[in-house]
Copies of this chain bind each other. A is one copy, B any other.
């Protein structure tokens, strides 16, 4: 019984939550279903998480957190801001296409009326936004992007565009590649913000 074992059910729970949230949405995802999916008792979930809301937040933290870490790792080896933008769009779409359940949860619950969830998710999302905005400012410094543009607004266009493309795909028959939308999307955006 190593100490690490104590907490090793959390990933299982989060994974189960992802599957169930993706399938039913937050409100129709009952703790009983998630517990069953995880192969554990309902009460056990509450040893790792304070509430259903926190479970959703933890899921975001876990998934988006690791995505951001990997993304930053990749961006570090890219100098050109234009290439960085390409990387961001590609990785974002690839991640969702790879994990359609995550995609469903992300597109469904990104804009939660539920304040607790919204506020729990916000910091993670903000982190991602800052990465994008940072890249944009870098591009402006490099002289690639129009320096008069607001980095925040550009980020909104980029994130909004990716998001809409992803949402359409999630609700579609998925008979086309999500990734393949990245390049034409990128072209429009780059052209739109180039000096």
A residues at B contact (CB < 8 Å):
24-28, 107-114, 118, 149-150, 153-154, 156-157, 159-165, 167-168, 171, 181, 184-185, 188-194
Contacts and interface: CB of A to CB of B under 8 A. Distances in A.
Contacts of A189: 157, 188, 192
B184 A149 contact: yes
Contacts of A154: 188
Contacts of A108: 111-113
Number of identical protomers: 4
A184 B28 contact: no
Contacts of A167: 111
A161 B159 CA distance: 8
Contacts of A114: 25, 27-28
Given A109-B113, A156-B168, A157-B188, 13 more contacts: A27-B114, A118-B171, A149-B188, A153-B181, A153-B185, A156-B165, A156-B185, A157-B160, A157-B161, A157-B185, A160-B161, A163-B164, A191-B193
A40 B191 CA distance: 54
A181 B157 CA distance: 11
B113 A111 contact: no
A85 to B, nearest CB: 13
A148 to B, nearest CB: 9
Contacts of A168: 156
Contacts of A27: 27, 113-114
29 contacts: A24-B113, A25-B114, A27-B27, A28-B113, A108-B111, A108-B112, A108-B113, A109-B113, A110-B111, A111-B111, A149-B184, A149-B188, A153-B165, A154-B188, A156-B164, A156-B165, A156-B168, A157-B157, A157-B188, A157-B189, A160-B160, A160-B162, A160-B163, A160-B165, A188-B189, A188-B193, A189-B192, A191-B194, A192-B192
